[in-house]
A and B are shown apart, each in its own frame.
Chain A
Amino acid sequence: MSDQRNTNADIVHKARFISGHAMKIPTLRVLQQNGKIYRNAELPDIDQELALKIYDTFLFIRALDERMLASQRQGRISFYMTETGEEANDIGSAAALHPDDIILAQYREQGALAFRGFTVDEFMNQIFSNEKDLGKGRQMPIHYGCDRLNYYTISSPLGTQIPQATGVGYALKAQGKKNCAICYFGEGAASEGDFHAALNMAALLKSPVIFYCRNNGYAISTPAHEQYAGDGIAARGVGYGMKTIRVDGNDILAVLLATQQARKLAVEDHEPVLIEAMTYRLGAHSTSDDPSGYRSRKEEDLWRKKDPVARMRHWLEAKGWWDEEKEKSTLEKYRADVMAAMKKAEKVPAPPLEDLINDVYETPPWHLREQLDALKGHIRQYPDEYKKTAWRLNDE
């Protein structure tokens, strides 16, 4: 019972090293760029309603990202991250899940949150760190989180969510729930030790998790070929004894198909699954980044032609489920919604001063109460210097 290593492998008598590139993992693609399905392609479970919900979320995210990028350029918000070019990944995989499945995202997966019903006002309140922000104004823009939608709050350190997803999956299994966790991360974050810890533990402990790697080509400026030498991220899943698949991350039907089947493996068999999705970050890493210093316009244009949103639209139009008019009116509506929500959120005051010390612990201990009292005294002394909070203290 103790030593269960595989010691029955074939014995050979000459030193033969296996190449690090011996295993070539293929890429699943269902939909062509022109909207036609490959002959004999396996199809995901999708009807008109789901297809339109996915596409609707695509357009909302395009409008949101476009408006927020512009707002940052105008100085109205401090920071933003777009997911342009990668929408099929988070939105397509979220569409394969049950609402009670838990999402642990990295930071470029606002589409999954929108798909679950995060409202445009909720997005804006977080981005403007106002008193209606669920996160109480404590984190930089785009660090969303929502208990109601089972979307764990984003944290900036890369890869920390990956072993946590293993724990979340284990908890769901222990609680007898027919659910799984999905964990998003990039090919860059997969270099963190947390990634290796997470996959090894998930495979060993049979934790129902879908590890979804968005291989988008770049970690800020570092291209993927300077991130790993092996066959992408997928090859590692095999090394950990985990079911693994590589998909075209710009193909909504491939993403949906792979994630639907991965969910089945996770929930029914308690098998963790690794999905590596090949995609491209069309935008900058963040509003603090300028890609022109590390990649060519030509390369970007090549990927712009593989746009996942256009690819899905061609398919929808061929089915007669979508047309030019709907496209125009929906985009216009979402642009207007975002602008209106932004104007509203800008006017909402910052959270009260108490939220500076609340939630460090369940109940603020003596030293935090003492520090808050001292701070209030100081602000009362210099109210004009602390306008964001001083006005509230007058009522006390």
Chain B
Amino acid sequence: MSKMNLLQAINSALDTAMAKDDTVICFGEDVGHFGGVFRATSHLQEKYGKARCFNTPITEQGIIGFANGAAAAGMRPIAEIQFADYIFPAFDQIVNETAKYRYRSGNEFNVGGLTIRAPYGGGIHGAHYHSQSPEAFFTHIPGIKVVVPRNPEQAKGLLLAAIYDPDPVVFFEPKKLYRASQGEVSDVEYTLPLGKADRVREGTDITLVAWGAQVPVLEQAADMAEKDGVSCEIIDLRTLLPWDRDAVAESVRKTGRLLINHEAPKTSGFGAEIAADIQTECFLYLESPIVRVTGLDTPFPLAHEKEYMPDHLKTYEAIKASLNY
């Protein structure tokens, strides 16, 4: 075990996969010698050579197109998109190629070896173009998996699982936690299951669901609510596609209340999907309406970032409102 921040845990996962499997290659803008703008790929070129860890020109559609081809030809490419905000030039390659490769070919070909990494979310004063949380777009694409870790230990285990998974995975990393989140992480290889939620805290009065950087926000809000005598159950979804409906439904059947928190805008956010399915599954168990605490339906702001964010205070107030409904 070593104490690592989330970036070091990502780096450790990449290092572990590259050491184990010659077909793993890491590439993207500034990923090579420099180690990426956040340093997630530090020292990988030194260790594994320029053929396996390298810079690409600034072309997201090229990066993912290249990655699709390499994966189809038997490699395990790990493509970095420098910021999730810049993934959209690659959207066609992801939607029409990555996600459909196996299906459209009748399983003659697949790009299951592919993992796409991208830092997402606010917290670094990055305004519109260095702060977005575009995960919901990707949950609307049958054929890919979407994974978001909440801390270093989770990040390493989930990333390794994503790399070895037989399906292509889009892996969003909460950049706000890159250095802020620290914890003990195993130095050896381990994986955490994809498609399985993680119950972070047990409780009886209300279920709180989030992923990535919003999980610690839920914990903060739950701590405040505990002082009022409210017992919160916290679930980290971890994988958004396919998501662990059973885990959330089981919890809601117990607590009778559900709050979903995400940083992305509210309208058509992934919270809507959870709310729709849980009201179907748990209709007779619900004691108050399912509530969403989210970012506003605006582009991501700069001066008003704090006001925009679905923080612990907004969450705490929503918990109280749900209990007092």
User: A: which residues have CB within 8 A of B?
Assistant: 102, 104, 133-136, 138-139, 143, 145-147, 152-153, 155, 157, 160, 162-172, 174-175, 181, 193-194, 196-198, 200-201, 204-205, 355, 358-363, 365-367
Contacts and interface: CB of A to CB of B under 8 A. Distances in A.
A359 B167 CA distance: 10
Given A135-B106, A147-B109, A153-B109, A164 B65 contact: yes
B55 to A, nearest CB: 9
Nearest to B101: A153
B166 interface: yes
B104 A164 contact: no
A104 B105 CA distance: 13
A102 B104 CA distance: 18
B70 A171 contact: yes
Interface string B72-115: 11110100000000000100110011001111111111101000
Given A167-B67, A201-B62, A365 B242 contact: yes
Contacts of A143: 104
Contact of A167 (B77, B104, B109, B112): B77
B56 interface: yes
B68 interface: yes
Nearest to B142: A360
A268 to B, nearest CB: 18
B245 interface: yes
B242 A367 contact: yes
B71 interface: yes
Nearest to A164: B69
A201 B72 contact: no
Interface residues of B, number: 49
B66 interface: yes
B39 to A, nearest CB: 19
Interface of B: 23, 25, 51-52, 54, 56-57, 59, 61-62, 64-75, 77, 89, 92-93, 96-97, 100-110, 112, 142-143, 145, 166-167, 195, 242, 245-246
B242 A146 contact: no
Contacts of B242: 365-367
A174 B75 contact: yes
A363 B167 CA distance: 9
Nearest to A362: B166
Contacts of A367: 242, 245
30 contacts: A134-B106, A135-B104, A135-B108, A138-B103, A145-B105, A152-B109, A153-B105, A153-B109, A157-B97, A163-B64, A163-B93, A164-B65, A164-B72, A166-B69, A167-B69, A167-B73, A171-B69, A175-B74, A194-B61, A196-B59, A197-B65, A198-B62, A204-B56, A359-B102, A360-B102, A360-B143, A361-B167, A363-B166, A365-B242, A367-B245
Contacts of B102: 359-362
A174 B59 contact: no
A174 B167 contact: no
A32 B24 CA distance: 50
Given A135-B106, A165-B69, A362-B112, A174 B96 contact: no
A145 to B, nearest CB: 5
Nearest to B77: A167
Contacts of A181: 69, 73
B111 to A, nearest CB: 9
Contacts of B65: 160, 162-164, 166-167, 194, 197-198
Given A174-B51, A365-B195, A167 B71 contact: yes
A160 B92 contact: yes
Contact of A164 (B66, B105, B106, B167): B66
Contacts of B72: 152, 164, 167-168
Contacts, number: 163
A198 B71 CA distance: 16
A360 B143 CA distance: 5
A135 B97 CA distance: 15
B108 A163 contact: no
Given A197-B59, A200-B62, A362-B167, A133 B73 contact: no
Contacts of B23: 174-175
A143 B100 CA distance: 13
Contact of B57 (A104, A168, A204): A204
Contact of B66 (A102, A167, A175, A362): A167
Nearest to A139: B104
Nearest to B100: A155
A200 B68 CA distance: 17
Contact of A171 (B57, B75, B106): B75
A138 to B, nearest CB: 6
B251 to A, nearest CB: 17
Nearest to A361: B167
Contacts of B106: 133-136, 138, 145, 153, 355, 359
Contact of B104 (A155, A163, A365): A155
Given A160-B92, A171-B75, A174-B51, A153 B108 contact: yes
Given A152-B109, A170-B66, 14 more contacts: A138-B103, A147-B108, A157-B97, A160-B93, A164-B72, A164-B97, A167-B70, A167-B73, A175-B23, A181-B69, A197-B66, A200-B59, A359-B107, A367-B242
Contacts of B61: 163, 193-194, 197
Among A133, A175, A205, the one with the most B-chain Cβ atoms within 10 Å of its Cβ is: A205
B143 A361 contact: yes
Smallest CB-CB A-B distances: 8 pairs:
A163-B65, A167-B69, A197-B62, A164-B69, A171-B73, A153-B105, A167-B70, A136-B106
B96 A163 contact: no
A381 B73 CA distance: 44
Contacts of A205: 54, 56
B165 to A, nearest CB: 8
B112 A157 contact: no
Contacts of B143: 360-361
A133 B110 CA distance: 17
Nearest to B79: A167
Contacts of A135: 104-106, 108
B108 A145 contact: yes
Contacts of B145: 361
A145 B166 contact: no
Nearest to B99: A360
Contacts of B109: 145, 147, 152-153
Contacts of B245: 366-367
Nearest to A146: B108
Contacts of B167: 361-362
Contacts of B104: 135, 138-139, 143, 145, 153, 155
